[in-house]
Chains A and B, each alone.
Chain A
Amino acid sequence: MSEALYLFISVAVMALVTYLIRMLPLSLFRKKIKSRFVLDFLYYVPYAVLAAMTIPAVFYSSNSIISAAAGFLVAAVLAFFERGLLTVAVCACGGVFLTELAMRLLGG
């Protein structure tokens, strides 16, 4: 399979699955979910997804694991104090940047 075809099918699969998940319940399904377990499971899914995607990938998101860890720490502290998404994201970037700058200056 050519690279272009692989990319195209991958994106098509992504888009189709994501669309159907949103479209079918909104268009066809009129019954309410009654199962407590299913409702609670669906409620916890976003948190589980985001935690699994963040750990440990966040530590490999920059040029060095040290600067990434610094950025993670900044994000964790600000998120703990409930700052907005944008603030947390931007400050995490700042943490990475300053750490790499310091490492470059100290490392000569």
Chain B
Amino acid sequence: MTKREITLKNTIGFIDGVKDGVPIALGYLSVSFTFGITAVNMGIPPITAILISLTNVTSAGQVAGIGIIATHGGFAEMALAQLIINMRYALMSLSLSQKLDEKYTLFHRIVTSFCVTDEVFAVASGKSGDIPARYMYGLITLPYLFWSGGTAVGAFLGSILPDMIKSALGIAIYGMFIAIFLPPSKKSQGVMCVVIMAAALSWFIYYLPALDFISSGISIIICTVIAAALGALIFPRKEAAENE
């Protein structure tokens, strides 16, 4: 960093990123911990669970992924499920690409993009002005370490925890999901209807004996595409679309 850059008032650096990453990292710790426990409960080896967290860094996609692995689903099913579930990141990356400063080179884009999570995106896009690469590296450092570390602790400690504690922790990740989709449902009729449609479809696919051939990964794909497409058709958003 040159002297001139340091003296600029609006320059945000690596340390600013690290600071902004602390609350994200703390939130990830508990979720990744229960992800580790859930994975091992499903019969996934601890090392595999840790490898998944190190290489994926996404809660919903990973939970769906271990569900598919646990039922020995195919690779095409896995690829398609990840594509649908994680498609929102394409939109976030696209949006973020407009906010990176001119020195944010292709190399830095290729490296930092693996850690564009919902929370990282939310914090980064909330920053005023363009974002330098060093801020992004700072922002993703702690969340990435805590995500992987929490998974490791959950995966290894999970087996020595008492059964009742393990049972209670199994719901944590779903609690987090509920906390994400319920509050916006109160404010937006569209979100509420999408949530209800997706949940109802998922319920029917799970319980109708005639639909037993549909695996968990495929079910998520079907529910998501139908509910989100109907939502977009019936409840098009008016102004928000221009901001994204």
Question: Interface residues, chain A, CB within 8 Å of chain B?
Answer: 6-7, 9-11, 13-15, 17-19, 21-27, 29-30, 32-33, 36-37, 39-58, 61-63, 67-68, 71-72, 75-76, 78-80, 82-97, 100-101
Known contacts A25-B97, A36-B236; can you find 7 more A-B pairs with CB under 8 A?
A: A42-B87, A44-B194, A46-B181, A47-B194, A48-B194, A54-B177, A58-B174
* 10 nearest CB pairs, A to B: A92-B175, A15-B55, A52-B223, A40-B232, A89-B175, A88-B179, A55-B199, A79-B182, A97-B168, A26-B93
Are B171 and A92 closer than 8 Å at their CB atoms? Answer: yes
Which chain A residues border B110 with CB–CB below 8 Å? 23, 27
Cβ-defined contact, B199 with A93, below 8 A: no
| Docked pose: A43 CA to B27 CA in angstroms | 23
Cα-based distance from A79 to B53 in the complex (angstroms): 26
Asked whether B174 lies within 8 Å of A57 as measured between CB atoms, the reply is yes
Per the 8 Å Cβ criterion, residues 55-78 of B in contact with A are 55-58, 60-65, 68-69, 72, 75, 78
For this complex, 19 residue pairs linking A to B, each with C-beta atoms less than 8 Å apart, are A14-B52, A18-B55, A22-B89, A27-B106, A40-B235, A41-B231, A44-B194, A45-B224, A46-B181, A48-B224, A52-B199, A52-B223, A53-B64, A53-B202, A75-B175, A80-B186, A87-B179, A88-B176, A101-B164
Q: Does B85 contact A (CB under 8 A)?
A: yes
What chain B residues lie within 8 Å of A94 (beta carbons)?
Answer: 168
Interface residues of B, Cβ cutoff 8 Å to A = 26-27, 30-31, 34, 38, 44-45, 48, 51-52, 55-58, 60-65, 68-69, 72, 75, 78-79, 82-94, 96-98, 106, 109-110, 112-114, 116, 118, 163-165, 167-186, 190-191, 194-203, 206-207, 216, 219-220, 223-224, 227-229, 231-233, 235-237, 240-241, 244
Interface centre among A49, A78, A92, A93 (most CB of B within 10 A): A49
Measured in the bound complex, the distance between the Cα atoms of B61 and A39 in whole Å is 20
Instruction: Give the complex CA separation of A33 and B91 in angstroms.
Output: 9
CB within 8 Å for A53 and B178 given contacts A36-B241, A75-B171: no
Q: What is the distance, in angstroms, from A49's C-beta to the closest C-beta of chain B?
A: 5
CA distance A67 to B168 in the complex (A): 9
Chain A contact surface mostly = helix
Closest chain B residue, CB of each to CB of A58: B174
Whether B90 and A62, one on each chain, are in contact in the complex, defined by CB atoms closer than 8 angstroms, is: no
State which of B38, B48, B93, B206 has its C-beta within 8 Å of the C-beta of A7: B48
Report which of B58, B89, B195 forms a contact with A51, defined as CB distance below 8 A: B195
The answer to whether B198 touches A51 (Cβ under 8 A) is yes
**Minimum CB distance partner of A23 in chain B:** B113
B56, A22: Cβ atoms under 8 Å? no
CA distance A32 to B241 in the complex (A): 12
Cα–Cα, bound, A18→B194 (Å): 23
